[in-house]
């Protein structure tokens, strides 16, 4: 019996030792995986670094590109477009004297807005405004011109049908529309422009090179909607117009939404390549198309390079691809995918949903980044609902929040550097003796409006770059629906009935 007991004890001891060894090996393996995952995260953080010196280099590079773009065509990454027919936004505040009902259509990303604005003339301002937001089905973003513009025209007609009492055009008058089209366009008149290329995930070949106002007009005619497009603008020009309508100190407009762009007011004499008539105001509107800005000083990573290669427009819109809402969530997904594949971050099996491009959108990223619950339950629910990852530890969730912070911080700080580039170009980055020159940047776009950690970081970086004395004279103001309201104001400024009223 004693020998049996001893043997049993030996067997039990051996089993316990073997189990303990398995536990130790499992812990070592988990520890090794975690260390590898954290190494991937730390390397990414280092490559995304935006120290103040690098940001100053980016701002300087932006200013240099602006000078070059104003001097001659080509040779620059950003596209400097001089918009002589939008001089209304600087020579006089559009809409200050106009009155009546005007519409705006704001198309610039995965959603579009239809807006109705009632203007009250010189003293009335914007009396009333109404809007509706419509999501564009993904298949229409890569379909045909007829399908996309037909969908938009139908939504516009449905919105017109909801006009309430007192919100109708005067008898005998055609409804007029300001069309905000936020893609690169070669504008040929106040109400016409040919699409240069698509961005932000759109790719409809039969629109490229065509007049987008003509495409919209044909779609409206097909469904019997009697409406005239009296102004074509992009969202930055619309925001600039709307901003200056409310505040004459507005010098520039920046869009941070699905995509990104900037526009500003320049001295006409500072534009060597302009050979047309100089406006009476001595100022002109410059549309920068700064999403295409690139520089060796931009902190690009392997994930950015892979995203660019696999995008619909490889080699283009590099700045946009690291700071705008279309791409921030996708960058987070790509880093998580590498952590899953090379460090088994989510376990031995890589979650299949994590392999789907753009499944993790920037609003999801923002929700996780802003999660302040003690157990980060929002992070857990987003991972479960979107990526079908049911179980994550608090430690993993904290790492994901940190990843969101790295991506958002880089984008916000680079956005600030771009704005400083504009301020430098205009010579407003210094305070002259005894001169208090107020400069206002009008901001619009869902990324800036809804991602508060992004916008807060951008504004604090702006102050860090400019210094306390200069930043006291620089203000950033959110322009809600600025691009749509601006488009309606410009439609009013170029109404076919304006001359009749003035006579």
| Residues designated as active site | 113, 182, 235
Phi, psi of 233 (to 5 degrees): -140, 165
Q: Are 460 and 468 in contact (CB under 8 A)?
A: no
Distances (CA, A) of 473 to 55, 419, 436: 20, 14, 7
Q: Are 178 and 233 in contact (CB under 8 A)?
A: yes
**Contacts of residue 241, Cβ cutoff 8 Å, sequence gap at least 6:** 86, 88, 89, 94, 233, 486, 487, 489, 490
Residue appearing with tokens 């925001």: 239
**Contacts of residue 24, Cβ cutoff 8 Å, sequence gap at least 6:** none
Residue appearing with tokens 């007009």: 217
Q: Are 291 and 447 in contact (CB under 8 A)?
A: no
Q: Are 83 and 283 in contact (CB under 8 A)?
A: no
Question: How far is the C-alpha of 231 from the C-alpha of 483, rounded, in Å?
Answer: 13
Q: Would you state the structure tokens that stand for residue 35, as one six-digit string?
A: 């260390």
- Could you tell me how far CA 5 lies from the centroid of its own chain? 74
Question: 391 burial class (0-12, 13-18, 19+ CB within 10 angstroms)?
Answer: exposed
Question: How far is the C-alpha of 343 from the C-alpha of 332, rounded, in Å?
Answer: 16
Could you tell me whether strands 227-233 and 439-444 are parallel, antiparallel, or unpaired per DSSP bridges? unpaired
Question: Which parts of 362-416 are beta strand (E)?
Answer: none
């Amino acid at each position: 019996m004693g020998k049996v007991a001893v043997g049993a004890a030996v067997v039990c001891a051996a089993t316990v030792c073997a189990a303990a060894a398995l536990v130790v090996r499992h812990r070592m393996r988990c520890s090794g995986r975690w260390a590898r995952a954290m190494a991937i995260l730390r390397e990414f953080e280092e490559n995304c670094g935006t120290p103040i010196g690098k940001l100053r280099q980016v701002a300087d590079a932006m200013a240099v590109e602006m000078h070059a773009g104003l001097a001659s065509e080509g040779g620059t990454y950003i596209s400097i477009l001089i918009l002589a027919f939008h001089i209304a936004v600087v020579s006089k505040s559009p809409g200050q004297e106009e009155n009546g009902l005007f519409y705006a259509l704001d198309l610039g990303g995965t959603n579009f807005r239809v807006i109705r604005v009632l203007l009250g003339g010189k003293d009335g301002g914007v009396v009333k405004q109404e809007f509706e937001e419509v999501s564009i089905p993904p298949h229409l973003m890569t379909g045909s011109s007829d399908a996309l513009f037909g969908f938009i025209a139908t939504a516009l007609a449905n919105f017109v049908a909801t006009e309430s009492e007192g919100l109708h055009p005067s008898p005998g008058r055609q409804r007029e529309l300001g069309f905000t089209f936020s893609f690169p366009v070669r504008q040929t008149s106040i109400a016409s422009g040919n699409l240069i290329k698509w961005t932000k995930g759109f790719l409809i070949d039969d629109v490229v090179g065509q007049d987008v106002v003509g495409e919209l007009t044909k779609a409206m005619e097909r469904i019997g909607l009697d409406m005239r497009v009296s102004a074509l603008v992009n969202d930055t020009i619309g925001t600039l117009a709307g901003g200056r309508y409310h505040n004459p100190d507005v010098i520039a407009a920046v869009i941070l939404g699905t995509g990104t762009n900037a526009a500003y007011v320049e001295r006409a004499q500072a534009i060597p390549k302009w050979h047309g008539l100089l406006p009476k105001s001595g100022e002109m509107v410059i549309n920068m198309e700064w999403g295409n800005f690139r520089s060796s000083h931009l902190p690009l990573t392997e994930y950015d390079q892979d995203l660019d290669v696999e995008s619909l427009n490889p080699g283009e819109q590099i700045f946009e691809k690291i700071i705008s809402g279309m791409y921030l969530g996708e960058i987070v997904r790509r880093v998580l995918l590498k952590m899953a594949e090379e460090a088994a971050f989510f376990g031995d099996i890589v979650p299949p949903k994590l392999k789907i491009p753009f499944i993790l959108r920037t609003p999801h990223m923002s929700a996780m980044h802003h999660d302040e619950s003690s157990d980060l339950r929002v992070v857990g629910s987003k991972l479960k609902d979107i990526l079908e990852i049911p179980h994550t530890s608090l430690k993993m969730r904290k790492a994901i929040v940190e990843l969101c912070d790295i991506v958002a911080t880089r984008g916000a700080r680079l956005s600030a550097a771009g704005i400083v580039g504009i301020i430098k170009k205009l010579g407003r980055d210094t305070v002259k003796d005894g001169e208090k020159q107020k400069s206002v940047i009008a901001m619009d776009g869902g990324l800036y409006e809804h991602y508060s950690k992004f916008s807060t970081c951008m504004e604090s970086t702006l102050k860090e770059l400019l210094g306390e004395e200069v930043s006291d004279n620089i203000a950033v103001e959110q322009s809600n629906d600025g691009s749509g309201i601006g488009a309606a104001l410009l439609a009013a400024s170029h109404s076919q009935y304006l001359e009749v009223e003035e006579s």
